Structures are given as structure tokens and as C-alpha cells.
């Protein structure tokens, strides 16, 4: 059984399981799914500075903080107890393309050649980690939610803004992958 859990699950099992989160949350209390809202709740709890965006009763949404803690705990368990010992399986063409740009270590989910503390002080590491993190956070706030909230919860509840946001997320991902990433990997 443990060998089955350690392997990547096919889309036809993982997808419906993720999709079942939506009706479960709606049936269990009319709750919406999204990760970026958890960060807002944390800021509202920890930074009572009178900022209007954080001035609301975050305690009514405390379930979301427990959900987020479960995600973090699940990630820890999956990384340290359920990880497959081999390298991450990626498409050979993708591996060849990344190796041509100097990325050689595929032992984890994120290449250590880009995402590590030693790389943080390089220009490439700073752009990917700090600037990229800022842009993701800004984009999440500007779009009114994150990809999981819009793509999983918003589209399944037939919200037009979520469809537009998800299409824009996909377009941005394609543009980044094909037109911007090759230049950033040259740094």
C-alpha cells in the first residue's frame, strides 16, 4: 500500500479527488476554497494596524487556517515519509532544454541550481525567488484570488471572473515558459 501512495497518481484519480473538495466545502458549511485568503487571515490576525483590507472578523474564517496548517503538515509528511527516492520524472525534452541552460539537478521538485539558499544571493536566484514571489503575491491580490481558488472553486461554481482569471493564468504561464524563462535561465 505504501508503494502505491509514493507514486504519482494518474489524473483520473487525483483530479476527481481534488474536485470533490468543492462540493464537500459547500455542503459542510458554504465555505470557499483558496489559499491566498489564508494569508490574508494570518495578516489580519497578526497585524492589527488598522489597515482597512485587514480590518474584518478573521475568526469566522479560522477553519481556513486549520486547512492551511493541514496542507503544510501534509507537504511535510509527503516530503519526508512518502517521497519516491528517485529523481523527479520529467519529460526528457524538458530535461534536455533545462540542461542546455545550466540546470542539472533534478533530484527534487525544484531544481537546486535555481532554488536554494546558495543561489538566493545570485541575480538569477534573486529574480526567481524574491522578484517572482513578489509578482505572484501581487498577481494573486490583483486577480482577487489564487489559481486554486479561481480554477478549482470559481470555475466549478460558474463564476465568470474565475474563468477569465484562469485563462489569464494559463496565458501568463505559456508566455513565461516559452518567451521569458529561456532568457532568465541564461543569467
- 3 and 77 within one domain: yes
* Domain termination site, one of 37, 61, 83: 83
- 143 and 78 within one domain: no
Q: 66-109 pLDDT, tens per residue?
A: 988 998 999 898 888 887 777 777 888 988 888 888 888 877 77
160 domain-assigned: yes
127 domain-assigned: yes
23 domain-assigned: yes
124 domain-assigned: yes
Q: 152-178 pLDDT, tens per residue?
A: 888 888 999 999 999 999 999 999 988
Is residue 33 classed exposed, middle or buried when 0-12, 13-18 and 19+ CB atoms within 10 A define those classes?
A: buried
| Residue 100: per-residue pLDDT | 86
* Domain termination site, one of 64, 83, 102: 83
- 6 and 56 within one domain: yes
159 domain-assigned: yes
Tell me the H-state helices in 7-131. Answer: 11-19, 21-27, 36-46, 62-81, 92-100, 117-120, 123-126
96 domain-assigned: no
Q: How many domains does the chain fold into?
A: 2
- 133 and 77 within one domain: no
108 domain-assigned: no
- 121 and 55 within one domain: no
Polymer length of the chain: 187
What are the Cα distances from residue 29, in Å, to 12, 60, 61, 158? 27, 12, 11, 19
Q: 11-34 pLDDT, tens per residue?
A: 899 889 988 988 888 898 888 877
- Residue numbers of the domain that contains 186: 114-187
| Model confidence band, residue 36 (pLDDT cutoffs 50, 70, 90) | confident
Amino acid at each position: 500500500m505504501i508503494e502505491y501512495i509514493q507514486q504519482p497518481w494518474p489524473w483520473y484519480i487525483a483530479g476527481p479527488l481534488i474536485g470533490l473538495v468543492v462540493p464537500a466545502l459547500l455542503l459542510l458549511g458554504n465555505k470557499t476554497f483558496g489559499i491566498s485568503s489564508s494569508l490574508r487571515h494570518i495578516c489580519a490576525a497578526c497585524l492589527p494596524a488598522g489597515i482597512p483590507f485587514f480590518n474584518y472578523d478573521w475568526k469566522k474564517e479560522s477553519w481556513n487556517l486549520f486547512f492551511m496548517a493541514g496542507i503544510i503538515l501534509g507537504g511535510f509528511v509527503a516530503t519526508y515519509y512518502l517521497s519516491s527516492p528517485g529523481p523527479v520524472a520529467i519529460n526528457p525534452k524538458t530535461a534536455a532544454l533545462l540542461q542546455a541552460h545550466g540546470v542539472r539537478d533534478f533530484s527534487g521538485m525544484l531544481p537546486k541550481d535555481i532554488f536554494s539558499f546558495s543561489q538566493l544571493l545570485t541575480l538569477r536566484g534573486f529574480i526567481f525567488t524574491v522578484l517572482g514571489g513578489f509578482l505572484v503575491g501581487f498577481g494573486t491580490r490583483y486577480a482577487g484570488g489564487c489559481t486554486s481558488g479561481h480554477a478549482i472553486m470559481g470555475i466549478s461554481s460558474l463564476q465568470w471572473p474565475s474563468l477569465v482569471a484562469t485563462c489569464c493564468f494559463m496565458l501568463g504561464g505559456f508566455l513565461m515558459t516559452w518567451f521569458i524563462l529561456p532568457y532568465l535561465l541564461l543569467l
